[in-house]
Structure 1
Amino acid sequence: MRRPSARRLTALAAAAVLLPATAACGADDTSGKDGESALVIYSGRHEPLVKPLLKQLEKAVGTDVEVRYGDSAELAAQILEEGDRTKAALFFSQDAGALGALSKERRLEKLPQATLDKVAPAYRASNGDWIGLSGRSRVIAYHPEKTSKAPDSVHDLTKSEWKNKIGYAPTNASFQAFVTGMRVLEGDDATRTWLKDLKANGAKTYNNNLAVLEAVDSGEVSLGLINHYYWYEKVAEKGADKVTAKLHFLPGGDPGALINVAGAGVLKGSGQSGTARKAVDFLLSQQAQSYFADKTKEYPLAAGVSPAEGLPALDSLEAPDIDLGKLDSLQETLAMLRDVGMV
């Protein structure tokens, strides 16, 4: 067994402490119907969001499913610590970074090519051991009465014209993943400078993306850094005429246009690889992909499934060209955010 490096375990564990965590659950008894072993899933996706989908998965794979919910980074650290002793067969991650960390430690099995071919290469591991299931784009929300047009780059947000007019959520995992992406794309020095300049420009902090969107919608700030689906969920709930804020998808491969993914990987050593692979194929099925589109307003990543009404086509977005597996260096991002006084 190849043991995980102490540095990587420490990094993931520290990241888990600083990220907002959800309560973990799941029984240690994994016996299923008629004494058969249940499929054990470690899910970094929140229980209220995916529990109905995992009930459908249970029927699709034909065996009981036991789920342990928690933060993706925390669960990845647990998997690395457990090694070959883990009972988990499938890791359902909120973001690509946690999957990338497991891939680097060779804890994931390569998926069948037929499975990999369902998703574009940009949204799966370059070595084929994890795959994206749904995507979310970083965007700028803006108040149309306070600005007629949002800037085309996050680098413009440090200009004096936006002083005290920007909202963001530095403790939120999606913002931290975006900063990690900027580090990968532009380097640590440039990213640290941008963060310092953003803070010096009076950007206002909020607890989460939803609070940022509410601040933009009310006119408290002119611009906000969020994920796209918060706006679409708000419109679906309240109606377009009740939502003042608008969205701007950034062009030109800007780091602020990062498309991150929720994804899955089959874990080594569980003895349930075949069932876990069936589970991955179910999560890429039209049934599951439509669930992501309809319920979460995320982008379905399997070919042939359309996003929710009103979303621009995924292939029309000008996201930066980045290996999503490299978003695993979260600890370095957190250290940088602490250094500049954002967390």
Structure 2
Amino acid sequence: MRPRLALLALWALLAPLVLAACGGDGFDDDALVIYSGRNKNLVGPLLDDMERTTGLNVQVRYGDSAELAAQIQEEGDRTRADLFFSQDAGALGALTKAGRLQPLPQPLLGRVPAEFRAKDGTWVGLSGRARVFAYDPRQVPRPPKSVFELTGPAWRGRVGWAPTNASFQAFVTGMRVTEGEARARQWLTAMKAAGTRSYDNNVLALEAVDRGEIALALINHYYWYEEVAEKGQAAVHARIAFVTGGDPGGLINVAGIGVLKGTERRAAAEKAVDFLLSREAQTHFATETKEYPLAAGVPAEKGLPPLDSLHGPDIDLSSLDSLERTLDLLKEVGLV
């Protein structure tokens, strides 16, 4: 069994025993409980600010988004979670499909463009990230316009990716949804046959481009912006190119949030969502994580192209919930 799915299965078996052994879930009775698939280092300070600003007693359980979504489904009506803060739209879509999220009020939903929230209003995007090509201009004078160009002989052994990374798997899921599974399989097979190099994560793939080990890598945009913020652009050899024209390589995924159905703290949960869509919180995403703020009127980090200029694939982001089938495909191709 794949490690990630094995972990989900193990949690399903052990969760009731663990909670029973501990004599409870460890949360205060009056706390607003957030299950967060976003890393504590990235959003912990923001959630601390939320607690101070709103006066809410906020307690957080951190973990992997897919695993937390599976945990919520296993816990069912007895879950202590009031809010699910997900790293990607797929995990939110899975909870929507399972009937675990309730619609948000229109005044909250209306602050974010329709393409970055659930069609039924059960979740709303908070920040966006675009898939890009990171490339070495010393080797690549002009970056390609589509991921489908990368299977050509000119790119053999010169491209890198991170197939075990959740953002890469969401990208492949998007390709399956928009282009069909047959074409996604064909592309993955051709890329592997062309000697595409695998890295453990986006950071390592970007670093490989920066030192000229490979010519191009498939990553999320903010890794490059974080590298530039840390080192200065003069010290970063790599450049990035945003993929437009509806190509699956230009997927724009979101981190988002939803309120659990049956919560006894609905008003507090909606107050928290309101804060996360505020200028203060949205500016945090822009300046600290280098992502796109999604609430209207909040500017992105300097140097980022406008979000509405990117034109990624036309996709309902909730449809990224079919991660398990993507993992099956990646295993069949021999990438995980």
The normalised TM-score by structure 1 is 0.91
| Residue identity opposite 1:43 in structure 2 | S
Displacement of 1:167: 0.6
Aligned to 2:85: 92
Displacement of 1:44: 0.1
- For the pair 1:324 / 2:321, whether they are aligned, the reply is no
Whether contact under 8 Å (1:15, 1:331) holds in the other structure is no
Structure 1 CA distance for aligned equivalents of residues 293 and 221 of structure 2: 13
Aligned to 1:335: 328
- For the pair 1:176 / 2:173, whether they are aligned, the reply is no
Aligned to 1:70: 63
Query: Which aligned pairs between 1:90-129 and structure 2 lie closer than 5 A?
Result: 90-129=83-122
- For the pair 1:14 / 2:5, whether they are aligned, the reply is yes
Aligned to 1:152: 145
Secondary structure of 1:296's aligned partner: coil
Aligned to 2:231: 238
| Residue identity opposite 1:136 in structure 2 | R
Structure 2: unaligned runs, 5 residues or longer: 10-23
Displacement of 1:249: 0.6
Displacement of 1:59: 1.8
Whether contact under 8 Å (2:259, 2:266) holds in the other structure is yes
Aligned to 2:72: 79
| Residue identity opposite 1:98 in structure 2 | A
Structure 1 CA distance for aligned equivalents of residues 192 and 299 of structure 2: 38
| Residue identity opposite 1:223 in structure 2 | L
- For the pair 1:212 / 2:205, whether they are aligned, the reply is yes
| Residue identity opposite 1:28 in structure 2 | D
Aligned to 1:297: 290
Among residues 26, 29, 37, which one is paired with 1:29 in the alignment? 26
Whether contact under 8 Å (1:11, 1:331) holds in the other structure is no
Deviations 1:178-214 (A, max 9, x none): 0000000011111001000000011000000000000
Displacement of 1:11: 11
Structure 1: unaligned runs, 5 residues or longer: 1-9, 19-26
Query: Which aligned pairs between 1:305-316 and structure 2 lie closer than 5 A?
Result: 305-316=298-309
Whether contact under 8 Å (1:135, 1:298) holds in the other structure is yes
Structure 1 CA distance for aligned equivalents of residues 222 and 205 of structure 2: 13
Displacement of 1:17: 5.6
Structure 1 CA distance for aligned equivalents of residues 8 and 196 of structure 2: 25
Whether contact under 8 Å (1:12, 1:74) holds in the other structure is no
Displacement of 1:13: 6.8
Whether contact under 8 Å (1:15, 1:330) holds in the other structure is no
Structure 1 CA distance for aligned equivalents of residues 56 and 2 of structure 2: 35
Displacement of 1:15: 7.9
Deviations 1:241-275 (A, max 9, x none): 00100111112110000000000000012201110
Aligned to 1:53: 46
The normalised TM-score by structure 2 is 0.93
What percent identity do the matched residue pairs reach? 60
Secondary structure of 2:302's aligned partner: coil
Whether contact under 8 Å (2:8, 2:70) holds in the other structure is no
Displacement of 1:62: 1.4
Aligned to 1:285: 278
Structure 2 CA distance for aligned equivalents of residues 246 and 186 of structure 1: 28
Secondary structure of 2:101's aligned partner: coil
Whether contact under 8 Å (1:133, 1:302) holds in the other structure is yes
| Residue identity opposite 1:67 in structure 2 | V
| Residue identity opposite 1:249 in structure 2 | F
Superposed CA RMSD in Å reads 1.8
Residues 15 and 196 (structure 1), Cα distance of their counterparts in 2 relative to 1, 3 Å cut = farther
Residues 15 and 335 (structure 1), Cα distance of their counterparts in 2 relative to 1, 3 Å cut = farther
Whether contact under 8 Å (2:87, 2:255) holds in the other structure is yes
Secondary structure of 1:140's aligned partner: strand
Structure 2 CA distance for aligned equivalents of residues 57 and 94 of structure 1: 18
Secondary structure of 1:331's aligned partner: helix
Displacement of 1:29: 3.0
Displacement of 1:318: 1.6
Structure 1 CA distance for aligned equivalents of residues 6 and 218 of structure 2: 21
Structure 2 CA distance for aligned equivalents of residues 16 and 183 of structure 1: 25
Structure 2 CA distance for aligned equivalents of residues 219 and 11 of structure 1: 33
Structure 2 CA distance for aligned equivalents of residues 37 and 212 of structure 1: 44
- For the pair 1:162 / 2:151, whether they are aligned, the reply is no
Displacement of 1:106: 1.1
